[in-house]
Amino acid sequence: MIHLEKRPTPSPLWSYLTPLIAVVATMIAGGLMFALLGKDPVVAIRTIFWDPIFGEFAFYYRGQLLVKAGPLILIAIGLSLGFRAGIWNIGAEGQYIMGAVFGAAVGLAFYPMEARWLVFPLMILGGALGGFLWAMIPGILRTRFNTNEILVSLLLVYVAEQILASMSLGLLRNPDGAGFPGSRNLRQYESAANNELIAGWGMHWGVVAAFIAVIFAYIMLSRHVMGFNVRLTGESPRAAKFAGVNPNRLILFCLGTSGALAGLAGLFEVAGPAGQISIDFNVGYGFTAIIVAFLGRLHPIGILLAGLLMALTYIGGEAAQASLGLPAAAIQAFQGMLLFFLLAFDVFTNFRLRLGREIST
């Protein structure tokens, strides 16, 4: 007989091991799936995990890894603060959209003035503000009326999508676009463009911001009293109360920070890789970042690695589609397996596997 026994405290060893085991298990199960689809599993796994970093075209893919990982890390860092304190912002996708809309609107308002020193910093502020304000809606509703921030933040994603569509068709539409939806291309507007800092490297200001966020989050969580409050509230809300943590302020802080970071990610994306506000500007970074946050154990360094890994499965997955003819759904299933195995093996962090008969109490 096999049974699970709860550990007195979560095992630190397992909490580090599970992501690695999950990756290995995903490779095995995914390889099996690829084999069933009639593809060589070794080649497929190599195409996904190896070629983007070390293969023939790695000089291009490495940069793309940063482009893809940047927004994921930036958003996930913000989310992880709230998740640690038990505050669930599920609507980062909406805050990401609003950041992009606000930031792009600021940039477009100045068009065609050439003043990068003024326009770009203002756009960054606008982006952060857009995400922050959008996250304040569930925040204030929670602190004032005790509504559920999970539902409110999630539903506001759909509102944000409608606003995005309206902006691309109306207020922010490119007046020279022959009636087609979508704003001017910000990448072609020198003062607003968030181009690669070094051509071909993929490193743009959003990636820089992601790295800075990782460092700040690390310092905050390990050294600053606010980080202590966040961790304390997550681990023991009662103790936090006795320690004088104001729960409402903490809620607003966590939601506001994650909103602002998601907004920044949106701004850097719209001014850089995406280039313009369009109806389907958002492609799910805000939701994928939730996976990244958990895959990274809500730890800043872990999130950094998890963001890069997630980006790798996207980039490699696309490469496998084009070069091996794998269907898109197989790649999505592959990514799903990663989360599935992570959650499955996570059991061992809190439980111990015991062989033999359960001792009845």
Question: CB of 279: closest distance to other proteins in angstroms?
Answer: 6
Q: How many residues does the chain have?
A: 361
Question: CB of 93: closest distance to other proteins in angstroms?
Answer: 13
Tokens of 53: 């970093």
Number of CB atoms found within 10 A of residue 142's CB: 21
Instruction: Tell me: does residue 35 bind other proteins (CB under 8 A).
Output: no
Instruction: Tell me: does residue 170 bind other proteins (CB under 8 A).
Output: yes
Q: Which residues ranging from 176 to 205 are in contact with other proteins (CB under 8 A)?
A: 178-181, 185, 197-201
Instruction: Tell me: does residue 165 bind other proteins (CB under 8 A).
Output: yes
Instruction: Tell me: does residue 275 bind other proteins (CB under 8 A).
Output: yes
Instruction: Tell me: does residue 59 bind other proteins (CB under 8 A).
Output: yes
DSSP three-state, residue 352: strand
Q: Which one of the spans 85-93, 107-115, 279-287, 289-297 is the region binding other proteins (CB under 8 A)? A: 279-287
Residue 274, φ and ψ in degrees, nearest 5: -80, -45
Q: Which one of the spans 88-96, 251-259, 314-322, 340-348 is the region binding other proteins (CB under 8 A)? A: 314-322
| Cα gap 176→51, rounded to integer Å | 41
Question: CB of 178: closest distance to other proteins in angstroms?
Answer: 5
Question: Quick one: which of 91, 273, 296, 302 contacts other proteins (CB under 8 A)?
Answer: 273
Nearer to other proteins, 153 or 174 (CB): 174
Nearer to other proteins, 36 or 198 (CB): 198
Tokens of 146: 């005790």
Nearer to other proteins, 169 or 220 (CB): 169
Nearer to other proteins, 230 or 319 (CB): 319
| Cα gap 214→209, rounded to integer Å | 9
150: nearest Cα among 96, 76, 91, 97: 91
Question: Quick one: which of 18, 191, 276, 313 contacts other proteins (CB under 8 A)?
Answer: 276
Nearer to other proteins, 225 or 283 (CB): 283
Give the distance from CA 45 to its chain's centroid: 24
Number of CB atoms found within 10 A of residue 120's CB: 22
Question: CB of 207: closest distance to other proteins in angstroms?
Answer: 13
Instruction: Tell me: does residue 72 bind other proteins (CB under 8 A).
Output: no
Instruction: Tell me: does residue 64 bind other proteins (CB under 8 A).
Output: yes
Amino acid at 198: I
304: nearest Cα among 95, 66, 140: 66
| Cα gap 179→97, rounded to integer Å | 23
DSSP three-state, residue 316: helix
Secondary structure letter of residue 6 according to DSSP: E
Tokens of 36: 């069933």
| Cα gap 253→243, rounded to integer Å | 17
As a whole number of angstroms, the longest Cα–Cα distance in the chain is: 77
Nearer to other proteins, 181 or 263 (CB): 181
Tokens of 69: 């990982």
Tokens of 164: 């995005």
| Cα gap 86→212, rounded to integer Å | 24
Question: CB of 297: closest distance to other proteins in angstroms?
Answer: 27
Question: CB of 126: closest distance to other proteins in angstroms?
Answer: 20
Q: Which residues ranging from 317 to 336 are in contact with other proteins (CB under 8 A)?
A: 318-319, 321-323, 325, 327-329
Instruction: Tell me: does residue 278 bind other proteins (CB under 8 A).
Output: yes
Q: Report which secondary-structure segment, H or E, holds 354.
A: strand 351-355
Question: CB of 193: closest distance to other proteins in angstroms?
Answer: 12
Question: CB of 318: closest distance to other proteins in angstroms?
Answer: 6
Question: Quick one: which of 49, 88, 205, 281 contacts other proteins (CB under 8 A)?
Answer: 281
Question: CB of 247: closest distance to other proteins in angstroms?
Answer: 38
| Cα gap 192→123, rounded to integer Å | 8
Q: Which residues bind other proteins (CB under 8 A)?
A: 57, 59-60, 64, 67, 161, 165-166, 169-170, 173, 178-181, 185, 197-201, 269, 273-276, 278-281, 283, 315, 318-319, 321-323, 325, 327-329
